[in-house]
Amino acid sequence: MNLQDQLENTISKLTAPGKGLLAADESTATITKRLSAVGVESTEENRRQYRSLILSAPGLGESISGVILYEETLSQRDDNGTPLPQVAAHQGIVPGIKVDKGKGPMPNAPGDEITSGLDGLEERLEHYRELGARFAKWRSVYHIAEHNPGAAAIEANAEVLARYAAICQCQGVVPIVEPEVLINGSHGIDRCAEVSEAVIRAVFNALYRHGVQLETMILKPSMITPGQEHSRQASPEEVAEFTLRTFRRCVPAAVPVIHFLSGGQTPEEATLNLNAINQMAQPWTLGFSYGRALQEPAQKAWAGHAENWQAAQTALLKRARLNSRACLGEYQPTMEAA
């Protein structure tokens, strides 16, 4: 299978209608916070147990088309000795991998950040492919404040995202391009829309410059919402209206799928907003790529106890299925009680 065939085969699986991605790519520092919140020590063994739990949930592949893994997880095995990427693949879930090396302050740009990790990316991708990864993810973040994000940060992060995506496609790996406009702050929904449009326009301009094939990439953006500290939060209908209006202006129809990140929304909010977005006309398949909004109920149910394994998987499956319905615009809040 040549590189183009590999890309097309992977993207066809990741764009299945009614399905989304499970973002299980938390860094060691982030998963430590998540596990500590439910009283679990973040040892390598506990992380292996937890990720084995979620990847082996029976029927997860009915709602989840791909899973983004952290590097540690790629080489871990379940209790039967099966590599965790294979555990996912056995359910029809495509394994992927987070490849950026994290964010840090951008020089001479107070309040803005830049993501690193391009050095050695080709070699790392070859290794990740050997371990089963078929797609990758790179996240850039944008803070909203009076003077942020600055033009330099918008352009620099767009350039990095485009270079990453081009490298991935040259390796036969589908890139997820994730420009996350953070929900932190007291800004209104209009300001979020303004910043998001500037960010996404810059990203696609950079993707064009670097010859990235839009048909075999995935966009993973934030929804357009007010900041968490804003005095008035938006209804799902308002989120849908602002999100789709903004994206129609700057996301080409050639992009096959947009998998939204949850970005600090509660599990219920993320599902309600996704459902409202999918009740409006759009040229793309619209799905989800949720981390905490899928996993938080499962983590609380598990709490590190083996006897809670089934309850935790049930909690994960419920959120996955509800979001699957939201992908089709068929979610109802009454389903939460089922």
> Taking the complete model, does pTM exceed 0.85, yes or no?
yes
Helix intervals (H) in the chain: 3-14, 28-36, 44-55, 71-74, 84-89, 121-130, 151-170, 189-209, 236-250, 267-277, 292-302, 309-327
Catalytic residue among 26, 113, 178, 180: 178
Q: Which domain holds residue 32?
A: 3-337
Chain-wide mean pLDDT for the chain?
96
Query: What's the average model confidence in pLDDT over 38-60?
Result: 96
Q: Tell me, what's the pLDDT at 1?
A: 75
Catalytic annotation on 122? no
Q: How confident is the model at residue 129 (pLDDT cuts 50, 70, 90)?
A: very high
Cβ(15)–Cβ(256) below 8 Å: yes
Q: Which residue reads 């006309």 in tokens?
A: 281
Q: What is the CATH number of the domain that holds 316?
A: 3.20.20.70
The domain total for the chain is: 1
The fraction of the chain above a pLDDT of 90, given in percent, is 96
Catalytic annotation on 33? no
Query: What's the average model confidence in pLDDT over 170-185?
Result: 97
Q: Tell me, what's the pLDDT at 337?
A: 83
Catalytic residue among 180, 220, 241, 318: 220
Q: Tell me, what's the pLDDT at 54?
A: 97
